[in-house]
Each structure stands twice: as structure tokens, then as C-alpha cells.
């Protein structure tokens, strides 16, 4: 059986840390979400209407994940209250990317730096989508093993 990858390079966080921070960043009323390797996650408000959450998440990340513009103002940055870091949102309803302070070189990063980091991570997830966790009321929670 393969074990979940949990090693980290300098400036990165482990998948376990990522999952922990993402769980804390999501409003508990939203129980149905899918997390990708680079920190992008998609929240589903009406998951009971979706026959296959994994397939739907992959479709959405492939459609809205890749970045095709150089404009720096196509995102919003939210400071997190329940954990450290930020959430970056952009086009793609319900799609967010977690950014850890460990991933940013500056000790006091500005919104543009955080946003560009999150947008870059979303682009990576969109171009090479690897699901690491599915959370849901109507599906068995599971972490993906590699």
C-alpha cells in the first residue's frame, strides 16, 4: 500500500498541514469540498445534486484553474481568522486557494504578493489536477494515497 506523501521542501507545507489549515479556513456549514495538491479547493453547496463529486471537481478545476492572463487584479485575498494564512479567490464560484505564510518569502507580504502566489498555485492545480482529499456529508471522507 502506498503511503500519503508528506515530505516538504523549504518554503512548503506538508499535505497534512495543508489539510489542517484548509479545514479551519472553511465555514463549518460547508461540508462538501474537494482539495487539490497545491492548496486549491472547491466547495459544493448542493453536493446532493451531484452524482460524482470527484468528477465534478476535476471538471471545474480544469475549466477555472489555469491562469491565462497576466493581470494582477483578478483575485481577492482574505485573511484567515481560525488559522494562519490567507485564502485567494478568483473566477470560478466556490473555488479558493490556501496560501501559507511559510510559502511567502516576505515576513509582511502585501495583497498582490499573496494573491499572485495563490493564483500561481491554482494554475498548477488546474494544469495538473491531483486530488488529495474529498470531504462530504453524502460521501465517505477520504484522503488520497499515492
The pLDDT value recorded for residue 68 is 79
| 79: in domain | yes
Q: What is the pLDDT of residues 94-120, one digit of tens each?
A: 999 999 999 999 889 999 999 999 999
| 5: in domain | no
- Name the domain count of the chain: 1
| 8: in domain | no
| 6: in domain | no
The pLDDT value recorded for residue 71 is 54
| 44: in domain | yes
- Please report which confidence band the pLDDT of residue 8 belongs to, taking 50, 70 and 90 as the band edges: low
Q: What is the pLDDT of residues 25-80, one digit of tens each?
A: 999 999 999 999 999 999 999 888 888 999 999 999 999 999 877 654 578 999 99
Q: Which domain holds residue 98?
A: 15-143
| 9: in domain | no
| 58: in domain | yes
User: pTM value?
Assistant: 0.86
Lowest-confidence region among 25-29, 48-52, 124-128, 137-141: 137-141
Is the pLDDT at 1 greater than 50, yes or no? no
Give the per-residue SS3 of the chain. Answer: CCCCCCCCCCCCCCHHHHHHHHHHHCCCCCCCEEEECCCEEEECCCHHHCCCHHHHHHHHHHHHCCCCCCCCCCCEEEECCCCCCEEEECCCCCEEEEECHHHCCCCCCCHHHHHHHHHHHHHHHHHCCCEEEEECCCCCCEECCC
Amino acid at each position: 500500500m502506498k503511503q500519503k506523501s508528506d515530505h516538504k521542501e523549504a518554503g512548503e507545507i506538508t499535505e497534512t498541514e495543508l489539510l489542517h489549515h484548509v479545514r479551519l479556513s472553511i465555514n463549518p456549514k460547508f461540508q462538501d469540498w474537494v482539495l487539490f495538491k497545491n492548496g486549491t479547493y472547491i466547495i459544493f453547496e448542493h453536493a446532493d445534486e451531484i452524482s460524482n463529486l470527484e468528477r465534478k471537481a476535476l471538471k471545474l478545476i480544469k475549466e477555472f484553474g489555469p491562469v491565462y492572463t497576466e493581470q494582477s487584479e483578478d483575485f481577492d485575498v482574505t485573511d484567515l481568522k481560525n488559522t494562519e494564512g490567507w485564502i485567494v479567490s478568483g473566477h470560478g464560484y466556490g473555488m479558493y486557494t490556501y496560501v501559507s505564510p511559510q510559502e511567502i518569502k516576505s515576513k509582511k507580504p502585501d495583497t498582490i504578493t499573496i494573491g499572485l502566489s495563490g493564483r500561481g498555485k491554482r494554475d498548477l492545480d488546474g494544469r495538473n489536477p491531483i486530488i488529495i482529499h474529498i470531504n462530504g456529508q453524502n460521501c465517505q471522507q477520504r484522503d488520497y494515497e499515492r
